[in-house]
Structure 1
Amino acid sequence: MRTIKLGSSKLDVPVVAVGCMRINSLGKKEAESFVQTALENGANFFDHADLYGRGECEEIFADAVHMNDDVREKLILQSKCGIRPDVGTYDHSKEHIISSVDKILKRLKTDYLDVFLLHRPDALMEPEEVAEAFDTLHSAGKVKHFGVSNHNPMQMELLNKYMKQPIVANQLQLSITNTTMISSGINVNMENDAAVNRDGSVLDYSRLNDITIQPWSPFQYGFFEGVFLGNDKFPELNKMIDEVAEKYGVSNTTIAIAWLLRHPANMQPVIGTMNESRLIDCIKASEVHLSREEWYNLYRAAGNKLP
C-alpha cells in the first residue's frame, strides 16, 4: 500500500489505518483472520483507544496478532486516552496519562507505542502537565510520537507552547457527507451555513504545521447516524459514487475512501470495518486517484454547494 510520512516525523505509515474499535465483535479465529488479512495487504497501522471495549479491544488484538518481538517489529501501533466513562470526565492529568499508557502497553503486550493521542480536549487540561507526561513517556521509550484527536488549532498551539515533541496527527470526523472543515474554506465570506468556521481552520492549520489528519467515521453521516453508502437518504451521492466506481472497476467503498485520499493534505483515514472484504476495498483506494472534476462532482452530490 502507498505510504506517507506521519506529520513531521520520519515514520512511514500506510495511507489507510485499521481502526480496532469493533474488534471485540469478532470471535477469536475471526479476529486472527482479520488482522492477518490486514497485514498481508500492507495495512500494518492499527488504531486503538483505552475507551474501546474498556480495554478489551486492545487485549483481543494482541492475542489475535500473536504478539511477540518479531511480530511487533512489523506493526505500527497507535492508541489514545483521556475519556473516562467510569467517572464521566475527560482527563489529561499527568498521572492519568502515564497510568493509561502503562495499562495500554500491558494490554497490547508491547513495550512501546509508535503513536499516542489525547482522545478529546479536556477543559481542565494543564498543558504543563501534559508536556511533563509526554517527556516522561518519551524518555522512557514508551511512546515514540504524540498527537491529538478532535482538537482545534488553538488547543494544539497551547500544547505546543510547552511540548518538546511535535504533534504529528489529529483525528477528526470527516467524510463526503461531513465536510465542515473543507466547506468553510470554500465558502469564505459567504452568508450561508457552510461558511461557518466551526473548527478554527483546522484543515489549513494542520497542513501548515505538518500534522496528519486522520479522518474517523469516513462512511458515516451526522454523528454516528448511519452510513451514507447505499442509503436512500443520499440517492444523488450514491448514484455518482457508483458511476465513478464503475469507471475505475472498484467498489463504492473504495471510492468513498479515495475521495478523502485525493485531498492534498495527505490524510490517513481510520477504517472501522471488521469485514475483510470491505477492508481490502478500502486499501484499494490508495491506488485510485480521482480527477479534480470527479472530486467536486462527489462533493456536490453529497448536498454541498459551491458559492
Structure 2
Amino acid sequence: MGARPVRPPGRRRRRGGRARRPRHRDHRLRPRRHLPARQGGGGLRRGAGPDARTPGARHPPDQVRHPPARRRRRPRHVRPARPRLLRRVEESLERLRTDVIDVLLLHRPDPLADPDEVAAALTSLHRRGLVRAFGVSNTGAPQIARLQARLDVPLVANQLEMSLHSRAWVESGVLLNTPEGAGHGFAPGTLEHCLDHGIRLQAWGALAQGRFTGRQRTPAERATAALLEGLARKKGTTPESVLLWWLTRHPAGIAPVIGTARPDRIRACRDAALNPPDLTHEEWYELWTTARGVPLP
C-alpha cells in the first residue's frame, strides 16, 4: 500500500510531474512581459528594435501591457437613410471599380425609415446615373406597394429565402385554412403582387445551405437527399441541379441565387442554368412532401 503525497495548498501538479503556479484570478488584467516575435506568432511590430530579433530576448521587466478594453458591440441594424444610402453606394462603386450599378436591392425594411426619404435617395441615385434599377429583399407586398407609390422608377426584383427547405413562400398559400398554415410568417399575397407588377422573384439560400446535398441531420433531410440522388441519376445530372429545378419549375419564374464561392458547387448547378426544369408534376410534389416529412393535408 502506498500513500498519496500531500502538496502545499494552492499548488497543482501537471501530468508531467511539474507543479504549476495558480492562475491569477483576473488573468486578463495580469501584467505580462512582452514575448519575442518568434514566440508571439504575430510577426515583428514596427519599431520593435534589434532586441526583438534576438532569440530568447526579453523586454525589460518594467514594461508591461494590458489588453485593451473591449469595445461595446453595436446592435445589428438596417438604416437606409438618405445620406448613409448615398455614401454606401459611392463606396460600393469605388470598390467594384465601376461607375454604375445595374440593380440595387434594399436588404431589409427598416421600421424607423421614412419611405419618402428612402424614395428621394433612390430617385437621386437614378437621376445621377449611378444606379439603373432598384429592388428589395425580404419585403412583403404592402411594404413594396408603399415604396413603389413614391418612386418614379419601377422596382424590378424582390429577393426572398426560397428553397426546398424554406418553403413558407409556397406553403403559406397552399395550407390556408389549416392548423399548420397558421404558423407560417410569410407575408400573404407577396408572390402574387410581384407577379402582377412584373417584379422578378430571386431566391437566396436556393441550395438550402447544403442540407440535402451535404450533411443531413434529420430523417426528412436524409430521405430527401436520397430522392435527389435517385432523380439525378435518372436524369443524368447532379442533385444540386434537381434541387434548383424544384424552384424554377414553379410558374413564378424564380431566379435562384447561388451563395457559394466553390467552383465545384457552381459547376454542379450548370444544368439548372442551361436547361429548362426536367421535373414532372408528380416528381415535384414527391420532393416537396419528402422534405416536409409529413403528407400534405
Q: Under a length normalisation based on structure 2, what TM-score does the superposition of the two structures give?
A: 0.69
Aligned twin of 2:20: none
**Residue 143 of structure 1: which of 131, 138, 146 is its match?**
131
Aligned twin of 1:166: 154
Check whether the contact 1:181–1:201 (CA below 8 A) recurs between aligned residues.
no
**Residue 271 of structure 1: which of 250, 258, 280 is its match?**
258
Aligned twin of 1:183: 171
Instruction: Write the distance in 2 (CA, Å) between the matches of 1:301 and 1:174.
Output: 17
Asked if 1:306 corresponds to 2:290, the answer is no
User: Which deviates the most, 212-221 or 189-198?
Assistant: 189-198
Aligned twin of 1:229: 213
Aligned twin of 1:99: 87
2:111 aligned counterpart, secondary structure:
coil
Check whether the contact 1:175–1:219 (CA below 8 A) recurs between aligned residues.
yes
1:284 aligned counterpart, secondary structure:
helix
State the shift of 1:297 in Å.
Answer: 0.8
Asked if 1:281 corresponds to 2:268, the answer is yes
Asked if 1:292 corresponds to 2:281, the answer is yes
1:115 aligned counterpart, secondary structure:
strand
Asked if 1:88 corresponds to 2:72, the answer is no
* Residues 253-272 of structure 1: per-residue CA shift (max 9 Å, x gap): 11111111111111111101
State the shift of 1:220 in Å.
Answer: 2.4
Within a 5 Å distance, the mapping from 1:1-307 to structure 2 comes to 88-193=76-181, 196=184, 198-220=186-208, 227-230=211-214, 231-233=216-218, 234-286=221-273, 287=275, 288-303=277-292, 305-307=295-297
Give the gaps of 5 or more residues in structure 2.
Answer: 1-72
Check whether the contact 1:181–1:197 (CA below 8 A) recurs between aligned residues.
no
State the shift of 1:199 in Å.
Answer: 1.6
Higher strand proportion: 1
User: Which deviates the most, 226-235 or 106-115?
Assistant: 226-235
What do you get for the CA RMSD once the two structures are aligned? 1.9
State the shift of 1:194 in Å.
Answer: 6.3
**1:278 and 1:116, CA in 2 relative to 1: closer, same or farther beyond 3 A?**
same
Instruction: Write the distance in 1 (CA, Å) between the matches of 2:83 and 2:188.
Output: 30
2:133 aligned counterpart, secondary structure:
strand
* Residues 174-229 of structure 1: per-residue CA shift (max 9 Å, x gap): 110110010111112222246745322322221122111111111226xxxx6232
Q: How high is the sequence identity, in percent, across the aligned residues?
A: 34
Check whether the contact 2:119–2:150 (CA below 8 A) recurs between aligned residues.
yes
Check whether the contact 2:148–2:154 (CA below 8 A) recurs between aligned residues.
yes
1:264 aligned counterpart, secondary structure:
coil
State the shift of 1:92 in Å.
Answer: 1.4
Matched residue type, 1:273: T
Which is higher, the Rg of structure 1 or of structure 2? 2
Instruction: Write the distance in 1 (CA, Å) between the matches of 2:103 and 2:167.
Output: 26
State the shift of 1:162 in Å.
Answer: 0.5
Instruction: Write the distance in 2 (CA, Å) between the matches of 1:151 and 1:90.
Output: 13
State the shift of 1:104 in Å.
Answer: 0.5
User: Which deviates the most, 86-95 or 263-272?
Assistant: 86-95
Relative contact order, higher structure (CA 8 A, sep 6+)? 1
Instruction: Write the distance in 2 (CA, Å) between the matches of 1:184 and 1:170.
Output: 17
Higher helix proportion: 1
State the shift of 1:277 in Å.
Answer: 2.1
Check whether the contact 2:136–2:158 (CA below 8 A) recurs between aligned residues.
yes
Matched residue type, 1:161: A
Instruction: Write the distance in 2 (CA, Å) between the matches of 1:86 and 1:143.
Output: 30
Matched residue type, 1:128: D
Instruction: Write the distance in 1 (CA, Å) between the matches of 2:150 and 2:296.
Output: 40
Instruction: Write the distance in 2 (CA, Å) between the matches of 1:218 and 1:186.
Output: 20
Q: Under a length normalisation based on structure 1, what TM-score does the superposition of the two structures give?
A: 0.67
